[in-house]
Structure 1
Amino acid sequence: MLLYLLLNLGSFSIPFLYSFEKKMRFIKHWKSVFLSLTIVSIIFLIWDGIFTARGIWGFNPDYHLNILLFGMPIDEWMFFFCIPYASIFIHYSLAYFKPNLVISEKVTKSITLFFIVILLPVIFMNTDKAYTFVNYIFLVFVLLMGFFFGIKDLQRFYLSFLIILLPFFIVNGVLTGTGIDEPVVWYNNAENLGIRLLTIPIEDIGYAFTMIFLNILLIEKFKKKPQIHK
C-alpha cells in the first residue's frame, strides 16, 4: 500500500498547482524556496537517519515504497519537501491575501519568551528522552532566531501556523495511526513524553514549527539577498 506516498503527493499537489496563480505567483520565489527546502531537509534528514538507526522511530513497510536510502524509505525523504512546501504556501498565501493580519511585535515577543520559558525546564527534566530533548532544543533555538532576527516573520507565522495545524493533524494523524490498522511511522515511547493528541506525539507540533519556520527564515533571507547586475 502506497499510503505514505499518496499523503506526500496529495499534500504537495494542490499548493504547487496554485503556486502558478496569476495574482500571487508564488512560483516566482522558487529559487529561494528550493534552496531553503534543500538546506532544512538536509538538517532534518541527518537527524531522522540517526533516530531511525537508534530505533527512536521507524517506518511500517506495509505503507511505504520499498526503496530505502540510509535506512529510511524514499517516502520519508519526500516528506521534507512536500509537507514544508504545502505549509510554506499556506503562510505566504495568508501574507498575500491578508497582509494586515499580524500580531503586534510586543505580543509576539511575549509569546516567544513564554514558550522558551516553558520549554527550558521540559528540556532539562527529560535529558533521557531523545526525541523530547533534541526536538525542544531545536525549537528553542529557532524561537531565539525568530526573536532576535525574524520577529516580523514570527508576527505572521504564529497565526499561519494555527491554520497549518489543521492539515497537519490530518496528515500526521494518519501517519501515526489514526484511522488505519497500524501507524505508518511508529515511535518508541521511551524516548518521548508519552503525551498523544489522538495518535500524534505532542513533540510533533514543535517539530513541525521548527521545520516550517526555519524554512521561512531562510526564504526571507534569500529573497532579500542583493542581486548582482552586470
Structure 2
Amino acid sequence: MRFIKHWKAVLLSLTIVATVFLIWDAIFTKNGVWGFNPDYHLPFLLFGMPIEEWLFFFCIPYASIFIHYSLAYFKPNLLIAKDITKAITITIICVLLPILFFNFDRAYTAVNYSFLIVLLGVSLIYGLEYLRRFYIAFLIILIPFFIVNGILTGTGLEEPVVWYNNDENLGIRLLTIPIEDIGYAFTMLFGNVFLIEKFKKKD
C-alpha cells in the first residue's frame, strides 16, 4: 500500500479536521453539552478537555481512514454505482433536513447535522467518487465504532467515560450511544478522506 507516501496529505487533513472538531468540542464541553468523567482520564486539561480527547481526533481518524484505504487497495473494484451513491446521499440529506429544522434548539443535533448536510452537499458536486467507496468502508468502520464508543458512553461500566446532556440531543440511543454520534463519526472521517484526496491531487 505504501500509505506512508501520502503522509503530507494525511497529516494536513487530520490537523484541519481536528482543529474544527476541537473548537466545537471545547465550546460544547464549556457549555455542558457533554463532558468527561475524571475517574477515567489523566488530570491534565487543555481548554477543559483531557489530553486523551485531543489525541482522539488524530488516532481514531487515522486508524479509520486506514481501513478505508486498505479496502481501496485490496478491493479496488468494490464501489457503489454513481447513481446509487448519489441517491443515497440525497436521501440522507432529505432525512436530516426536517430533523434539523425541528430540533434546531438542541445544540448537538443542530451542529452535528448541519456539518453533515453541508459535507454531503459539497460531496455531491466535488466528492461523489470518494463516497462510492467510503459508504462501504464506513459500514466496516461501524463495527469497532460501536464497540469502542459503546464502552466510552457507558456500556459495561458503572458510569460512562463521556456523558451527554440529553436536552441537547434527540435522546435516542443505540444501547448507550447517542444516535448523533454516527453522523459525527461520518463527518469527521469522510471530512478527512475528502481533504486527503484533494491534497493528493495537488501533490
TM-score between the two structures when normalised by the length of structure 2: 0.99
The CA distance in 2 between the partners of 1:174 and 1:31, in whole Å, is 33
| Matching residue within 2, 6, 15 for 1:38 | 15
Local SS of the residue matching 2:163: strand
- 1:1-230 equivalence runs, <5 A: 24-226=1-203
User: How many residue pairs were aligned?
Assistant: 203
Moved more, 128-137 or 24-33: 24-33
2:51 partner amino acid? I
Residue 130 of structure 1: CA displacement? 0.5
Residue 180 of structure 1: CA displacement? 1.2
**Superposed structure 1 runs of 4+ greater than 6 Å apart:** none
The CA distance in 2 between the partners of 1:187 and 1:209, in whole Å, is 19
TM-score between the two structures when normalised by the length of structure 1: 0.87
Q: Which has the higher contact order (CA 8 A, sep 6+)?
A: 2
The CA distance in 2 between the partners of 1:106 and 1:196, in whole Å, is 32
Residue 30 of structure 1: CA displacement? 1.1
**RMSD between aligned residues:** 0.6
The CA distance in 2 between the partners of 1:145 and 1:162, in whole Å, is 21
Local SS of the residue matching 1:153: helix
- List alignment gaps of at least 5 residues for structure 2: none
The CA distance in 2 between the partners of 1:142 and 1:86, in whole Å, is 21
Residue 31 of structure 1: CA displacement? 1.0
Residue 145 of structure 1: CA displacement? 1.6
